[in-house]
Structure 1
Amino acid sequence: MRKELWFGFALMAVILVTVLVLTPWSNLFDGHMSKEDLGVLGLLMLALIVVAIMIGFPTAFTLMGMGVFFTWLAYNSVNPDLAVRQTLDVFVLRTYWVMSNDVLIAIPLFLFMGYLVERAQLIDRLFHSLHLATARVPGSLAVATIVTCAIFATATGIIGAVVTLMGLLALPAMLKAGYDVKFAAGAITAGGCLGILIPPSVLLIVYGAVAGVSVVQLYAGAFLPGFMLAGLYIGYIILFAKWKPHLMPPLAESERLVPLPPLSQRLAQQNRNAVAGLWRALTGPGSAGVAKRTVLGQFIVALLPALIIVAILGVTYLVTTAPEKVASTAGLVQTGGLTAAPLLEEEGKEPTGLIGAPEAEQEDSGVKEPPAEGVKEVAPPAAAEAAKPEVVEKPAAAEPERLPTPTWFWIVCGVAIALYAVRYRRFDWQRLEIFKRLLTSFFPLAILILGVLGSIVVGLATPAEAAAIGAFGGLVLAAAYRFIAHWQATGLNRRSPGAMIWRTTKELGTIVKESMFLTAKTSAMVCWLFVGSGIFATAFALLGGQAIVERWVLSLDMTPVQFMILAQFIIFILGWPLEWTEIIIIFMPIFIPLLPHFHIDPLFFGLLVALNLQTAFLSPPVAMAAFYLKGVSPPHVTLNQIFAGMMPFMGIQLLALVLLYVFPQIGLWLPSVFYK
């Protein structure tokens, strides 16, 4: 018998013996259990569920089974006659709560969008384009892998899919280029786990549903920590590649070249610089037999990065120099008392025409102030005349002046101009072609990502609505990319568009079918986990386990910093044997009630948990990312090599966790800007 089975059976025997010894059998079924006995049962239930999941029992149904049994024990200790009925009522109510939870609607839609993007091979083009674009950067393949994973993470929160896909794309390319196996495996697994934190993360949706925190604010808060972590990865790769270039050899010069189209080949004979050559062909007498319209289009594409920077700087200038809005009540005349009187009776509304008037004055607007000394009082006009508002001549308002331009803005402009001057001076035809490939592979996906996440962050749509738009956008992108792939494969044969449309439709049907199956499978798992966790949490609370944990934590008399360190350490340890779903659903309901006592924001705590669970995904012995990669890697790549490659990146994650805790505004600044 294998050692793993011996270990599993021995662990089960230890747990069973512990349960048999500590269970209060004398009072278990006679309805006379004390609070202490129930509390012991609650802690045993918590330990038993962890071991059962470690052994391999299905998490959702194990939670439901244990939850139902221990709920019955709790009710049986109070009223044995109603125990069965009350237990079944809990089961039905918790199931109905999951079905009626609007937050969970976004999960299947985001999963569907992610599976569509994955199976339509959109990431293949993006990775190869980024590989060519970063060819001159040390460790270019690893850098391209991290960037691709970060972009893919914003299109899907499916960690296993990202690691598996990048294992098929990036790992063979790295090994062929002579990369160290450990470093290549570490870069892929670390980049693939970015989907845990970067929106639209499914983990954040689940945490928001469990903790009662706004998913929109969680998404806004997770942006900067997620991309900060990706930036730390890239910085480490570049420094390590500079230090030990033999572990990550640069790309050969021949592999950096891409075939030029006929237009570029003709114009390259006149000028090696792409921008200068296009400008000469556009303004000169001849354009080497190329149509002016085509040259103009290529010229606009070449200047597109500069145009985007100019637009960003222009918006920044308008925002930073916008005049301050000063609310002034000078010159306002209180009129129309009879007209405004009916509006004042409506509770909670301000009368129109009285903006800026104090509330007390608005409520008594029909009473005149006594005339000033020396001013003769005039008799009031008739009722019809009094209803008309007075016409008061106001001096023409002077246009507010803009604020002075800050010095840092001109510094940024100067740096941008200098960088783009250097860039366009070395912008040859090869770089133009690489940029065009990057544009066609990244731009449509970027539009989809910005449309989905941007509408959520700025408040135009709920996560469920934005996820529905993203799923439809992913379907359109999949159809477009598949059609373009068939169009290019047939050599631009325009004589049979019907055949290409039919092939694209058949292929799209297969993609949609597979994506729907995987979405239904994953969504069902998450929903049943919620049902099981609801029953389990109810049983844990009925047995008094939550109260015991709270009393124990409060008896330690810890400071908020000590509690935060203890909580994150426990979550980190739990990440070794358990997946994030079990940790969020089982253990977050234990930690969250303690947060108000220590004055900890649940939003900030959720960001720390998400970053911590990324670390848990890279920590042996149960690092799921390693097993995902091992499943698609060549036979000579061992699991120990993958584990060894993940260790430096796990250290970077711990550094990011410390930075987020020391500087909480990294995660809280964006929510504070959008949701004051």
Structure 2
Amino acid sequence: MTDPQVALMMLGLFIIFVFLGFPIAFTLMAMGIGFGYYAYFDADRQWRAFNRLDETASNWESWSLWFEGFYNNRIFDLFINQTFTVMSNEVLTAVPLFLFMGYIVERSNIVDRLFNTLNIASKNIPGSMGVAALITCALFATATGIVGAVVTLMGLLALPAMLKARYNTSFASGIICAGGTLGILIPPSIMLIVYAAATNVSIVRLYAAALFPGLTLVGLYLLYIIGRSVLQPSSAPRPGPDEVPDVPKSKLLLMVLTSFLPLAFLILAVLGSILFGLATPTEAASIGALGGIALAFIYRAMSWQRMRESVYLTVRTTAMVCWLFVGSYTFSAVFSYLGGEHVISEFVQSLDLSPIMFLILAQLIIFLLGWPLEWSEIIIIFVPIFLPLLAIFDIDPLFFGILVALNLQTSFLTPPMAMSAYYLKGIAPPEVRLTQIFAGVMPFLFCVIVSMVLMYVFPQIVFYLPELFYGS
């Protein structure tokens, strides 16, 4: 068996183990070290170590020399170096800080105030409660970047209110599921930080590039919500006076100032300081974490228990991401050394694809991977396989990253593995069926596809802000 064939077998076995349910990070490390031992095996070095054994050596010396021969393989040096590289990566330093900001904001009791304020402010708009729920989801998802937290909290807060207001069950469920995923696209997005670390693309340019596509997707969602509310009023009845009270403008302004403005200011301060070069992403994330703590204190939601929970969840999630990187770097290094990337590159080139056909094929593969895998595994493990091919088809990694971020919205929304739907089902009233939630997310999937087509047709949606701020 040739080395490239071994590399393909390595990739195939990894996919099988993932489907069997093995932990992905440790599977990557085990596969990387196991196949790396074969890839970097040096018979001469091993023989020199074993040859030092003689009959006069003591048992302890014999075992020491035997272990020296066994561990005399460069894969162990590679694994240690990759671990150190990940742990000292300055880009990844922003991940725990943004996560901590998100977990603190989640516990600051601001979301219920924000939803109620937006619901009252938008009561004259068709589908007002759905519009309020989506905007709340977008702001909260942007501040936290944690899909499960947003969908769960909004499902507890907004879904019962919409069902009580006689909203169509599928329609209401789809709004919350779709809105909860926006945090992985709209900056400051943790997913974009992970993509930047995996691909060496500037995180600042990624944030600038993702802003308009994220707003475009939110606009399409709002257009669908309002349009359906106008064309099918029964799916989103207008609220009565007893459901949404009339509030004087002065009081409404005060509600906006105390609910919408603080969270929006925190997001804009973090994002603006990054885009305008006032702070690095890590520094901005530090300010964001401090701002999240300040909000929790202002809303009298800070307690030792909540701080402890936030720190624990931050450490757990950060450790998962870092060990995924360690495993992925080790796996990728061995896979490339055995010639696996070269085989894939030759195969793709033999298909004689145009750049647009390659992009469609790549996005289709990522779409399918989104069923069994989380976005973190896709970005860290599989996206680097496509990177060497981008230069062949003259595709900007920045543009590719934004398309991937859009595409990964579908990984949370596509049945039968739509995690957003399962998050919502777990806390929804018993009468809400999973099939109804699946039906509700399908139109939003169509909106995601439309937004990706718009990126293909009008690439300046992606490139305008990066070129405006930082040049070509």
**TM band (smaller chain):** over 0.9
Q: 1:87 to 1:560 in 2, by over 3 A?
A: same
1:434 to 227, 244, 252: 252
SS of 1:620's partner is: coil
Determine the C-alpha separation between the residues in 1 that align with 2:322 and 2:200: 17
1:670 to 461, 465, 468: 465
Determine the C-alpha separation between the residues in 2 that align with 1:588 and 1:461: 28
Equivalent positions of 1:93-172 (< 5 A) are 93-172=81-160
Q: What letter corresponds to residue 285 of structure 2 in structure 1?
A: A
Determine the C-alpha separation between the residues in 1 that align with 2:16 and 2:261: 47
Equivalent positions of 1:374-523 (< 5 A) are 430-482=248-300, 507-523=302-318
1:213 — aligned with what?
201
1:57 — aligned with what?
22
Residues 500-525 of structure 1, C-alpha deviations (whole Å, 9 max, x = no match):
xxxx6xx4222211110110111010
1:272 — aligned with what?
none
Q: 1:172 to 1:79 in 2, by over 3 A?
A: farther
2:344 — aligned with what?
549
How much does 1:586 deviate?
A: 1.1
Equivalent positions of 1:246-257 (< 5 A) are 246-257=234-245
1:196 — aligned with what?
184
Q: Which moved more, 1:233-242 or 1:84-93?
A: 84-93
Match status 1:601 vs 2:392: no
1:362 — aligned with what?
none
Determine the C-alpha separation between the residues in 1 that align with 2:370 and 2:105: 28
Determine the C-alpha separation between the residues in 2 that align with 1:40 and 1:625: 38
Residues 481-535 of structure 1, C-alpha deviations (whole Å, 9 max, x = no match):
11xxxxxxxxxxxxxxxxxxxxx6xx42222111101101110100110011011
How much does 1:66 deviate?
A: 1.1
Residues 256-304 of structure 1, C-alpha deviations (whole Å, 9 max, x = no match):
225xxxxxxxxxxxxxxxxxxxxxxxxxxxxxxxxxxxxxxxxxxxxxx
SS of 1:546's partner is: helix
1:48 — aligned with what?
13
Q: TM-score scaled to structure 2, two decimals? A: 0.92
1:73 — aligned with what?
38
Residues 56-88 of structure 1, C-alpha deviations (whole Å, 9 max, x = no match):
211111111111111112123776727742111
- Structure 2 contact 100–310 (Cα < 8 Å) conserved: yes
- Structure 2 contact 137–179 (Cα < 8 Å) conserved: yes
1:532 — aligned with what?
327
1:649 to 432, 444, 453: 444
More helix by share: 2
- Structure 1 contact 76–83 (Cα < 8 Å) conserved: no
Determine the C-alpha separation between the residues in 2 that align with 1:154 and 1:642: 23
Q: TM-score scaled to structure 1, two decimals? A: 0.65
Match status 1:635 vs 2:453: no
How much does 1:157 deviate?
A: 1.2
SS of 2:242's partner is: helix
1:396 — aligned with what?
none
Determine the C-alpha separation between the residues in 1 that align with 2:379 and 2:217: 21
Determine the C-alpha separation between the residues in 1 that align with 2:429 and 2:6: 47
Q: 1:207 to 1:178 in 2, by over 3 A?
A: same
How much does 1:432 deviate?
A: 3.1
How much does 1:200 deviate?
A: 1.3
- Structure 1 contact 110–156 (Cα < 8 Å) conserved: yes
Q: What letter corresponds to residue 195 of structure 2 in structure 1?
A: Y
Determine the C-alpha separation between the residues in 2 that align with 1:204 and 1:78: 43
Query: Which structure 1 residue ranges, 5 or more long, are not aligned?
Result: 1-23, 25-36, 259-428, 483-503
Determine the C-alpha separation between the residues in 1 that align with 2:138 and 2:441: 17
Q: Percent identity?
A: 56
2:216 — aligned with what?
228
- Structure 1 contact 257–430 (Cα < 8 Å) conserved: no
Q: What letter corresponds to residue 281 of structure 2 in structure 1?
A: P
How much does 1:55 deviate?
A: 2.6
Q: What letter corresponds to residue 223 of structure 1 in structure 2?
A: L
- Structure 2 contact 165–243 (Cα < 8 Å) conserved: no
How much does 1:441 deviate?
A: 0.4
Residues 300-320 of structure 1, C-alpha deviations (whole Å, 9 max, x = no match):
xxxxxxxxxxxxxxxxxxxxx
2:49 — aligned with what?
none
- Number of residue-to-residue matches in the alignment: 448
Q: 1:120 to 1:656 in 2, by over 3 A?
A: same
Residues 184-208 of structure 1, C-alpha deviations (whole Å, 9 max, x = no match):
1111000001011001111100100
- Structure 2 contact 142–182 (Cα < 8 Å) conserved: no
Query: Which structure 2 residue ranges, 5 or more long, are not aligned?
Result: 47-68
- Structure 1 contact 578–622 (Cα < 8 Å) conserved: no
Match status 1:626 vs 2:421: yes
- Structure 1 contact 39–545 (Cα < 8 Å) conserved: yes
2:363 to 568, 571, 575: 568
SS of 1:110's partner is: helix
SS of 2:177's partner is: helix
Q: What letter corresponds to residue 5 of structure 2 in structure 1?
A: V
- Structure 1 contact 142–184 (Cα < 8 Å) conserved: yes
- Structure 1 contact 98–530 (Cα < 8 Å) conserved: yes
Q: 1:635 to 1:544 in 2, by over 3 A?
A: same
How much does 1:623 deviate?
A: 1.3
Q: Which moved more, 1:463-472 or 1:153-162?
A: 153-162
How much does 1:255 deviate?
A: 2.3
Q: What letter corresponds to residue 62 of structure 1 in structure 2?
A: T
SS of 2:341's partner is: helix
How much does 1:640 deviate?
A: 1.6
Q: 1:79 to 1:469 in 2, by over 3 A?
A: farther
2:4 to 32, 36, 39: 39
Residues 155-194 of structure 1, C-alpha deviations (whole Å, 9 max, x = no match):
1211111111111111111111111111111110000010
Residues 430-450 of structure 1, C-alpha deviations (whole Å, 9 max, x = no match):
233223212210111122111
Q: Which moved more, 1:616-625 or 1:216-225?
A: 616-625
- Structure 1 contact 75–83 (Cα < 8 Å) conserved: no
1:390 — aligned with what?
none
Q: 1:622 to 1:83 in 2, by over 3 A?
A: farther
- Structure 2 contact 274–284 (Cα < 8 Å) conserved: yes
Residues 585-605 of structure 1, C-alpha deviations (whole Å, 9 max, x = no match):
111111011111111111111
Larger-Rg structure: 1
SS of 1:256's partner is: coil
Determine the C-alpha separation between the residues in 2 that align with 1:171 and 1:446: 23
SS of 1:254's partner is: coil
Determine the C-alpha separation between the residues in 1 that align with 2:419 and 2:389: 30
Q: 1:443 to 1:552 in 2, by over 3 A?
A: same
- Structure 2 contact 134–179 (Cα < 8 Å) conserved: yes
Determine the C-alpha separation between the residues in 2 that align with 1:79 and 1:221: 51
Determine the C-alpha separation between the residues in 2 that align with 1:558 and 1:542: 26
Q: 1:605 to 1:78 in 2, by over 3 A?
A: farther
Residues 316-360 of structure 1, C-alpha deviations (whole Å, 9 max, x = no match):
xxxxxxxxxxxxxxxxxxxxxxxxxxxxxxxxxxxxxxxxxxxxx
Determine the C-alpha separation between the residues in 2 that align with 1:525 and 1:190: 25
1:660 to 455, 461, 465: 455
